[in-house]
Structures are given as C-alpha cells and as structure tokens.
Amino acid sequence: MFTRHTGAHARNSASRFPLRPAYPRPGRAGWRRWIPSWRQVLGLSGLFAGTVTGLLLIMYARTEIPSDLNTFAVQQANVYYWADGSEMARTGEVNRQDTPLERVPEKVRWAALAAENETFYSDSGISPSGMVRAVVKMAGGGSTQGGSTITQQYVKNAYLGQEQTFRRKLSEIFIAIKLDQRMSKDDILARYFNTSWYGRGTYGIARAAHAYYGKDVSQLNPSEGAFLAALLQGASRYDPALGPGNRARAEKRWSWVLDRMVAIGKLSPQERAGYTRFPEPVAPPRPTGLTGQTGYLVETAHAYVLAHSDVSDRDFDLGGYQIRTTFDRPRSTALAESVTKLRDGLRPRQREADRHVRIGAASVTTDGRIVALYGGPGYLKQGFNDANSTVVPAGSAFTPFVYAAALRDGVQLRRDRPRTPVTPATVYDGDNKITLHTPEGPYWDRSGKIVKAVNDNGKSWGRIPLKEAVVQSVNTTMMQVGMDVGLNRVGRLATQAGLLKGSLGVQLPAFSLGAATTPSAIRMADAYATFAAGGLHTEPYSVSRLTRDGEQVPVERPTAGRALPAPVAKAVDEALRDAVRRGSAVRARSAGKDAAGKTGTAQDNRSAWFVGYRGTLSTAVSLSRIDPGSQELLSLDGLGGTPEGQPGSPLPADIWTRYMTAR
C-alpha cells in the first residue's frame, strides 16, 4: 500500500534531500560547483599529457633522417642583369671544402664547442632546457630559435633550412635524437664544421680559415678559432669588414669564448693570458670578374637586396638568385668614359695637387631609378665606392635646399613677430663680410666674436634678389637666409627632398653652405631629381626585380610622394636653369637649354661638386682629395693646374656636361 506524504512530513523530506545540480561537481552549490577537484585536474592533466606524448611518439616514429643534403651541395651563382635584361655579372658561388676533423686543432674545436654547446660530448643530441625556452618563445609569439645543440644546428644546416616554425623545430629535435644514436660525436662535429656558414661566401671551417686568415685550418691557433666561433652567431654582425660596429661585437665575443674555454678546462689561464690582442682577420678578397665599374654596380644592388627584402646574406651566399638591376649599360659606359677622359688630364707624377684624387658620380631618374654610377678607378683596384661615399662636403651645392625652405616656410626676422613670406624677388644684402643675425640679434660664436659671412673672392653684390643670390652663388645672402628660415627647417626640407638625416652637418651658420653636410653622390642626384619632378620625391633604388629559380622574391620598390609644393619646386628649377644659362654654373651651358644645375665648393676648398639635371635624369659629380693614410680631406688648391687661391675645380662641371650630352 502506498502512503501519500503530505504537510509537514513532505516539507521535512524536501529539506533533508534538497534538489542539487549534478554537473560538474555533485554535492556543491553555487560557484563552488564549477571549481574542479584535484582528482579531475589530475585526470585531465594525465589525459592531456598522454595525448601529447602519443602524438610526439607518432611524429618521432614517422620522422626519418633525410637522405639528401641541403642546397649548398648543389650551389649556384647569383646572376645580375642590366635594366634591359642582358647579363651583367655572376657572383656568389659557395666556397666550400670538406676537411677531416683531425685537421682541425683540438683547441679550435673546443672554441666552437665552448661558444655553442660545451656539453656536446655528453648530451643526447638535444638540450631539454633549450627546448623549453624555444616552446616558451613560441607561446609568446616569438621565433623558435635558440637553445640548439651542435647536433641540432647540423641538422638545421644540412637537412632542414633556416625557417623558424614549431613543426620545423620538432623535426630538428627528432632527427637530432636519431642522428645522435646512429653516428659518433666526432662524425657529427666534423659534419657540423663542414656545413656551417662563416660569411664571406664560405661554408665550412677549412675555407673560413683561408677567407679570414689566409692559412690552412690546421695552422689556426685558439685565438683565431675563438673569432671563427664568434662568426657562428652570424657573420653579418661579427665580420669587422662589414661595418664599424662589428669589430666591437666581434672582440667582445672573441674574449668571451676564450674565457669560456678556461672555465670548462679546455684552455689554461696561462695560455689565455697570452691572447690579449684581437686576431685581426685579413681584408676580404674581391671577387674576380667584377672589373671596372661592374663591381660597384653589383655591390650597390647586393646591398639593396639585403636592405629591402627578407633575403639574408646567408641565403644570398647560397646563390640561385636573379637580380634585375636598374642600371643602364650605355649610361654606365658613358659616365665611366666621361670621368676617365677628364681624369686622364691630371698629372699626379708632376703635381702634388693632382695626387689622391677621388671622384664619385651617380645618375638617378625622377622616379628613383639609379641608372649609372662611377665608384672609382676600378673595383678590383679600389673597393671603396665613391658614388656612395659620405665624406665629401656638399658645399654651396646645398644652397638650393635653403632657397626652397625659405620659399616654403618663410622667415622669422624677430622672435616676437610672425613668419614673413618670401618670394624669389625678396631682396637681401649680398655684400662681403656682412654680420649674420638671428631673430634675437647678431650671432656670436663661442669665442665671443660676432660672426661675419664671406663671399668667394671677397666680392660684394650689394642688394640682391633671393633668386639671383642662388643663381650667382652668393654665400653671404644664403647664410643669412638660412638663419632667418631656421637651420632646423632647412635640414628638415633637405631630408624630405632626399638627403639622409645622418649626412647633415652641425647646425651652425655655415650649415647653409653645406660645410659639414656630406651626402653621397647617389643621394645628391636623387634630391635634385625632386626639383626636376615638380616636388615629388622617390627614394633611390637599384633593383627592379628579384627571382630565385624562376620564382619571384618580394623586394621593396619605392613610390613617389609629395616632398615640396609644386610652386616651390618650380621656383628652384628656374633658379637652377638660370645658374647654367648665366650664373655660377655657366660652364655647363653647352649641355643644352634644358640643363639645370649648381656648382658646389666648400669654403675651405676641400671639395667640389656639380649637381644638375636634364629632363628626367639627375646627375651628381663629387671631387675630393683624400690622404690615404689619415683619410683626411686635402685642399684642392692647384688641382689640374688651376691658379693658387681659385676655389673649387672645373672638373665636376666638365664631367657632368660631357656625360649629359653623350649619345
């Protein structure tokens, strides 16, 4: 018989057995039911660990040691092409030579091991702590590199490549473990030394010994081995020949490697004490086949690829790239012939003033293409590219930027007054030895003297329109205009037009005359092209297309942007045309009615320029004399037989005119 529970009895039963949710944790109410128990945590963790372990075991079982080595075993050349598609040069063949481990001195081996993997002979081919760091980096969105053993590095070098992905890292680890089980440590180390990249186009320590020290690998000492070990971190950062900051990094790393060798007992403190002087490597050999101007062209295009694409110098050394440059072969030939023809007129054996002459020249179109350059007497004779040199003061060739800044920004004659607009007809004092003024009053130098501006040959021009001051290159006017505009504004405009900020000089009154501003010929030609393009500026570039084995590789190609108002650019253009027709640049008048340009002479007569354009082609020619020992600029007085005291030189204008009229 069933009994119905009613009233208090039913309520009492409900209070004793309340209805509770059974998920996810029975017996818990409210927010506490969502907190997992330790059994649940342990169970889920075990399930996750088991799943991951199972997946890793499956991947490990399926991972095989590749039978083929990487591309350096079938290395190729890099091929450079002229703008018209014809072949210009071939470079970049990998310099590689296998050598037995016994030929590598033991302490040289330990230099690399101390730097990269001191536990190499005791580890299992992988570094657990390094693996953890790699996973942490990956989880944080970084790359998976770092923490690799020698065995892992060999696997990456020989089989997998340099890309940084988690899947590639796992493959590297699994192959390293299997390789460590199948090969002896000495065999792995030998293969590592023979496949590692050391820069200068070299793979393997045998060729690196020749490239950096001109000796057989067996003759290396521990100090030299420590430097080569530093290169394993990246030759582009540690080869002293590749940049001024590299040497300091290399010396620091070299010293650290030697100290690590002492710490792990592979170099005695007494022997370490004998290595206090950095083992300076020899200068890198210049590639054969890059005679004449070709080497400078290849060097310029190579630098552009490395700076404006994702291709590393390591990848580039492996070869296989096709580089279509912007260089025009007829233009390049004409420029070289123009410089050589006029340079041959110098007499360095008879005249001291004709010695140590350096000439750099470059042609850039209004759309940024570098179509020609002259870097020196020949790449194999002089490796330094004078077309890209940043040691020659621009002199008065800088004054068009002062003029443009005045037209665009106006001037401020009193600090408490608004800026005043300026036109080409605005009149200035062009007399010699005028006192320079700031908005607060006369300009005083650090010695407490009022600064006065000086014209070439001490000539006074009286009251002169601003445009005419540019046409006739009146120093005193341009210096005062720069002070009125504000030298910071002048510098800003110059960088917007195309000069690099790092090439601008100290902002003292002589700044307006380019006294310490040292742009390259490439940059100067590009900046003047901004005037020719109506105020539009395009960064200079030397590579129009990059492919590898037929597949296109992305490389940055700059686009035009508005740098100057069109009326300002037009006014500067008119002044530069008048300078050629009847002013300071009249020596270039035979270039034609459409020629526009400006001479440039440093006030201490240590540089001479001519920069100008016809149509869409802008060309800059720089001339200097540089002492080969001190690398200091020498005076141009008497160069080419010119009378003593005559500033500048006619050579840049003559070279420019001959080249711009060549057919």
pLDDT over 80 (residue 225): yes
pLDDT tens figures, 38-72: 666 676 666 666 655 555 455 545 545 455 555 55
Whether domain 95-273 has CATH 1.10.238.10: the reply is no
| From-to residues of CATH 3.40.710.10 in the chain | 394-515
pLDDT of residue 165: 52
| From-to residues of CATH 1.10.3810.10 in the chain | 95-273
Residues 6+ apart with CB under 8 A from 160: 70, 168, 171, 172, 175
Give the closest residue to 257 by CA, choosing from 110, 123, 147, 105: 110
The neighbouring-strand residues paired with 79 are 90, 322
pLDDT over 70 (residue 160): no
Encoding tokens for residue 222? 């521990």
Q: Which CATH superfamily is domain 394-515 in?
A: DD-peptidase/beta-lactamase superfamily (3.40.710.10)
Residues 6+ apart with CB under 8 A from 167: none
Give the closest residue to 88 by CA, choosing from 287, 289, 285: 289
Reported as type and span, the H/E element at residue 365 is: strand 357-365
Give, rounded to a whole angstrom, the gap between the first and last alpha carbons of the chain: 123
pLDDT of residue 657: 98
Q: Full-prediction pTM beyond 0.85?
A: no
pLDDT tens figures, 307-364: 999 998 878 887 889 999 999 999 999 999 999 999 989 999 999 999 999 999 999 9
pLDDT tens figures, 370-414: 999 999 999 989 989 999 999 999 999 999 999 999 999 999 999
